Amino acid sequence: MRLIRSPARQPQTLASGCVATIGAFDGVHLGHQRILRRVTDEAAGRGLQSLVVTFEPTPREYFSSTAPPARLTRFREKFALLAGLGLGVLYCPRFGPALESLTPAQFIDELLVRRLQVRHLVVGDDFRFARQRAGTLADLEAGGRSRGFTVEQVGSIVASGVRVSSTAVREALAAGDTVRARALLGRWYAMTGRVVRGRRLGHTLGMPTANVNLCRRQSPVAGIFAVQVAGLAAAPLPGVASVGTRPTVAGGEPLLEVHIFDFDEEIYGRYIEVQFVAWLRAERRFPDLDSLGRQMHLDAGQARRLLAAN
């Protein structure tokens, strides 16, 4: 999948047009996947490039700078998920005053028609666009009739009685319901990143951990989890993880720490994926390191049992 970040750059691969969709696609959940499959299928049928338009930061982050919603997928994770679905181009300009100020007509003329040469546009059933989210499906359809592109709206998916949405995934994860999150995503919720050096406190307590920076302003998960770790072996490895600020040792910035069972390799700098299978408990402060160490071993035992039964 080709990445284009500059809004002023004319993508040469789109000279003959494209089939496109637009959205934040945070989480790339089942509802997103339905839309993206329609894009790739329609593009293949028409012999055109398939394209996803998204923005960094997301509009919700831009307009909620002091308290943005928890981000399910950072940019690198989103890129990998979209590429895995077979999309051809990811067009991701920086969201700021220039894009924020576009009227619906300007958005259609300047971005969809002039910049991207859209021939067919696929959107979800809650799609709004342009300044103050004033643009509607009717605006897109009217713009398409006069400017030579067609518009298709894709309905939502309901899973386990819940409309699939990024908000529903966040709510499930905030409640520690990893199984419901999996039903909405079509996979275990996961975070990825490179293993960095830490304070080696886990080694002192008999449970060495791989540390991964969250790279998010706010994490959608918190607490202690039974996990699977992909990227180090042919199959995911079982383990136990903590996402939090490590209050017992005044840790400060939130961090993902993973203890991989029966594993003893040097993995600093390796890129791993941590899949959250089951929530065990909330993070809490212990009176001393011995108490923390005992609880860590209890958590590990519970995680082993849950993963063995999964």
Give the mean model confidence (pLDDT) for residues 147-158.
96
pLDDT at 251 over 80: no
Which of the four pLDDT bands, split at 50, 70 and 90, describes residue 124? Answer: very high
Residue pair 274/212 in contact by the 8 Å Cβ criterion: yes
What local confidence, expressed as pLDDT, does residue 67 receive? 84
pLDDT at 149 over 90: yes
Higher pLDDT, 7 or 136: 136
Which of the four pLDDT bands, split at 50, 70 and 90, describes residue 247? Answer: confident
What local confidence, expressed as pLDDT, does residue 47 receive? 96
* Coil vs helix vs strand at 17: coil
Higher pLDDT, 248 or 9: 248
Contacts 24+ apart (CB under 8 A), 161-170: 163/31, 164/29, 164/30, 164/31, 165/29, 165/31, 166/24, 166/26, 166/27, 166/29, 166/69, 166/72, 167/69, 169/27, 169/29, 169/72, 169/220, 170/69, 170/70, 170/72, 170/220
pLDDT in tens, 67-88: 888 999 999 999 999 999 999 9
Minimum mean pLDDT range among 10-19, 90-99, 115-124, 261-270: 10-19
What local confidence, expressed as pLDDT, does residue 64 receive? 87
Task: Say what percent of the chain tops pLDDT 90.
Answer: 81
What local confidence, expressed as pLDDT, does residue 8 receive? 62
pLDDT in tens, 271-281: 999 999 999 99
pLDDT at 199 over 90: no
What local confidence, expressed as pLDDT, does residue 7 receive? 64
Question: Which tokens in the block code for residue 91?
Answer: 């067009």
Which of the four pLDDT bands, split at 50, 70 and 90, describes residue 10? Answer: low
Which of the four pLDDT bands, split at 50, 70 and 90, describes residue 259? Answer: very high
Minimum mean pLDDT range among 10-14, 111-115, 171-175: 10-14
End-to-end CA distance of the chain, in Å?
34
pLDDT in tens, 17-38: 999 999 999 999 999 999 999 9
Name residues whose C-beta falls within 8 Å of residue 229's C-beta, 6 or more positions apart in sequence.
210, 236, 237, 238, 239, 258, 260, 272, 273, 274, 275
Which of the four pLDDT bands, split at 50, 70 and 90, describes residue 204? Answer: confident
What's this model's pTM, rounded to 2 decimal places?
0.94
What local confidence, expressed as pLDDT, does residue 187 receive? 98
Domains of the chain: 2-159 (3.40.50.620), 189-309 (2.40.30.30)
